Amino acid sequence: MAFYSPEPGMDQVLADLVRALELEDRPGLAQQVSITWLRFDAAPVAQAAEGQAAAFWMRRWSGGSWGGDRLRYPASVVKLVYLMAAEAWLQEGLLEEDPELRRALADMIRDSSNDATALVVDLLSGTTAGPALPAQRMETWIAQRQLVNQWLDRLGWPELNGCNACQKTWGDGPYGRERVFYGPALENRNRLSTDATARLLLAVMASALVSPPAAARMRELLARSLDPAERAADPENQVDGFLGEGLPLGSSLWSKAGWMSQARHDAAYVEAPDHDPFLLVVFSEGKEPAQDTRLLPEIAARLCEACHR
C-alpha cells in the first residue's frame, strides 16, 4: 500500500503543469520528468517522535504524482539515503561516533561533496576504492557494497522496490574496482524514484525511521537559507536553479538537490507563510532539463501557489 492517498485533483494539477511546461519550448518533457507532491494539513516535523513511527505510517497523506514510480538515476539526491543509513548504523552500533564522519556527513549534504560521500560509502560498507580485484575478492567486495540496499529492503516499503543505492558519486567517474562494479553498460548505476525519495525525506522530517535526535541532526544538515545575500555568497547553494528558488521569501526549506550533465533533481520539504506544508520531489533527465535552470523553480512556484490557504 502506498504511503499517500492519490488525490485526483492533485494528479490533475501535475498533469496540467507538465503539459504547460512542455508547451513552453520544452518538447519531450513529459517523458523526462517525474514528480511526487504531498500536501499536509499540519507540519509533519517530528510527528513520529517518541516511538510513534508505526502509527505515523498508518496515516495517509494527500498526494499526487507524475511518473512517481519511475526509476531514474538520482545523481546527488542519493546522498540523502547515505545520510539516513549512517544515522541508522550509528544507532545500531555498526559505526562509531567520530568527528571525521560528522564532517563528511555535513559536507556531503550541505556542499554535496563527492569526496565526502566516498568516505561515507566506504564506512557504511567496509570497502575502499582501488584497482580491480581478483574474482573471489571482488565477490566479497560487492557483497559488502550491497549493505545499504539490504537495509532498504528490510524497511519493506513498496516504493523502494527496484531502487539501488550502492555507488559513490563522482566528478570524472569511477575507476578500477569501482568501474567494474558499475557493469559494462553501467547497468548497476544508482536508481531511485520520486515516490521512494519522497517517503525517505518524509521519514527524516517526521522522525519516523531513526531516533528523534538523529532525525533532528539530519534536518539541521538539510536546512537551506533563502536569504538572497547568503545565496549570492555561495554559487552552489542548492537553492538557485532548484525548487527553493521558486518559493516565497519567508519560507522554510529542507532539501537535497542533485545535478549533472544529464540530470537536474531536487527533493524538498517546505513550510511557507499562509500555505499548507508540502513535500515535493522532482527528477528531470536529459541534456536540456539538466541545463534548464528555470524548470524546477517554475514547478515549485506553481505547486506552492496551489497550496495557498
pLDDT tens for 241-299 read: 999 999 999 999 999 999 999 999 999 999 999 999 999 999 999 999 999 999 999 99
For residue 266, give the DSSP letter.
Answer: E
CATH assignment at residue 28: 3.40.710.10
Scanning the chain, the segments in alpha helix (DSSP H) are 8-23, 29-32, 53-58, 78-91, 99-110, 114-125, 135-144, 147-155, 177-182, 194-206, 212-222, 228-232, 287-291, 295-306
The three-point CA angle 248-257-77 to 5° equals 145
pLDDT at position 1 is: 60
**Nearest CA-CA partner of 26 in 303, 295, 297:** 295
pLDDT band at 14 (very low <50, low <70, confident <90, very high): very high
The grid coordinates listed for 97 are 561516533
Reply yes or no on whether the pLDDT at 69 is more than 70.
Answer: yes
Edge to edge, the sheet with strand 4-6 lists: 4-6, 61-66, 33-39, 278-285, 263-271, 252-260, 223-224
pLDDT band at 53 (very low <50, low <70, confident <90, very high): confident
- The answer to whether 181 touches 136, Cβ cutoff 8 Å, is no
Report how far residue 175's alpha carbon sits from residue 309's, in angstroms, rounded to the nearest whole number: 51
Residue 84 belongs to domain spanning: 4-306
Name the one residue in this structure whose C-alpha cell is 520531489.
281
Q: What's the alpha-carbon Rg for the chain, to the nearest Å?
A: 19
Say how many domains are in the chain: 1
pLDDT at position 48 is: 87
Helix, coil or strand: residue 309: coil
Reply yes or no on whether the pLDDT at 86 is more than 80.
Answer: yes
